Structure 1
């Protein structure tokens, strides 16, 4: 008899069934994930793509039970290839540092599953235990750090919420000669409409960015940006609020309903990561091999 399937090996998603009055697990999933129709769920059950907590395939008629833990596999039919290529900057038994190109998501989301940095690296390195320790958004390029070893993962994960890691970015945006640099931008950021855009609103500040000028080139300047906090789209919103939306930004300051233009990437780059290694205290510093052109 073969061993139970290990969902980690194919990066299954996990859900704990919410409270409700459903008769079967299938009924619950159909209601909980409205974007996936009943026929799709039935097909996944039939192909063994819905598993119990132990990694065993279950049937669509399994009775519903509140809090039941299930694994399932996100799938996108006819997923469109993203014609960009990632590279590995550093790799050891604990960490993988990758350079993510513009337009490539870090993890499966929406219409992207296989065309993500995580899934590409898992296939390339043959390590199903890779987990990103932080995120940069799809339009941003540069460094992303992954845990490669579950035994040491928590030590590296704590670097980010405890703010023990220095992250430096570069951006190209309109010149701001009327402002005095370096400067600090603080504001309260919340999700707005549409849901994926962030907005500054009155209230207690929950975001902070340090900004300075690296280089001046006519109407555009190269800025160094250091996020003290890590809110979604923080650097993009803060630069737009200062009056210099980052070049080629499709979301800020105005939403542009356009398809990806690979010739006009967002001019935002995750430049470096610096931290004291939590395992031995050594100073670690990683620099991107990518660059922003004018």
Structure 2
């Protein structure tokens, strides 16, 4: 049987600016081993110029990789367009739809769905939302818009508020969670963790309502990350004993 391949495009965001190529790919494909990442670089890059593991990636750069088409989990196909002009596309991302291609997902992503609806190269996501998170996602349609908006997100000039239901009844109506976040351990690389040697991370939390469901105390909260760490809200809320309902990766500490 002849193998079929697709070209996956990975856009470098400010958080990865200046990284080595192998570290950038390891961040995007967190479940893959270093050996697999090295194999990708040696055999599957579809770059216009030669690149190696130590090559530096910059904000806005597009890394193209050849990926074998494999069966992937089904993801939502529909999304609402909230705003569209010559430089911006803003969508309502449904839960269950990953933003970027990964080891498990290639076409069933936001970038893939945008291509299906509008055509190749129409827009690139400026920031990220976790796969199971729904909400507003900003995409840029020009290199200039991508650089400018990425810089705004990276330097905290964009205010983001998330709504979540958590375990338990927080004692305070308003709290600031200040705990540094680091990459996961060798055993669970996809998960982030609280670590004194990690990057400074703060999340502002406001309790909207406390309630009991099926005999279990829960709360509706608004959470605003003051930094942009991966899984920040999930990690922080679990750290203070009020993990998100249904979050299997971050149980309450």
Gaps of 5+ in 2: 1-6, 12-19, 23-33, 58-62
124, 136, 141: which is aligned to 1:143? 136
What are the residue-to-residue correspondences of 1:8-157 with 2, within 5 Å?
11-12=8-9, 33=37, 51=46, 53=48, 71-83=64-76, 85-157=78-150
Residue range with higher mean Cα deviation, 222-231 or 129-138: 129-138
Alignment TM-score, normalising by the size of structure 1:
0.63
Distance 1:236 1:159, change over 3 A: same
195, 198, 223: which is aligned to 1:201? 195
Matched pairs, number: 216
SS of residue in 1 equivalent to 2:180:
strand
Distance 1:81 1:17, change over 3 A: closer
- Once residues 174 and 52 of structure 1 are traced to their aligned partners in structure 2, the CA distance between those partners, rounded to angstroms, is 46
Over 4 Å off, 4+ runs: none
What value does the CA root-mean-square deviation take over the aligned residues?
3.4
SS of residue in 2 equivalent to 1:154:
helix
SS of residue in 1 equivalent to 2:206:
strand
- Once residues 248 and 46 of structure 2 are traced to their aligned partners in structure 1, the CA distance between those partners, rounded to angstroms, is 39
- Once residues 68 and 236 of structure 2 are traced to their aligned partners in structure 1, the CA distance between those partners, rounded to angstroms, is 35
Alignment TM-score, normalising by the size of structure 2:
0.73
Q: Which has the larger radius of gyration?
A: 1
148, 157, 167: which is aligned to 2:160? 167
Alignment partner, residue 179 of structure 2 = 187
What are the Cα deviations for residues 249-274 of structure 1, in whole angstroms up to 9, with x where unaligned?
Answer: 020117xxxxxxxxxxxxxxxxxxxx
Distance 1:196 1:155, change over 3 A: same
> How many angstroms does 1:184 deviate by?
0.2
Query: Residue 229 in 1 paired to residue 227 in 2?
Result: yes
> How many angstroms does 1:216 deviate by?
2.5
Alignment partner, residue 238 of structure 1 = 236
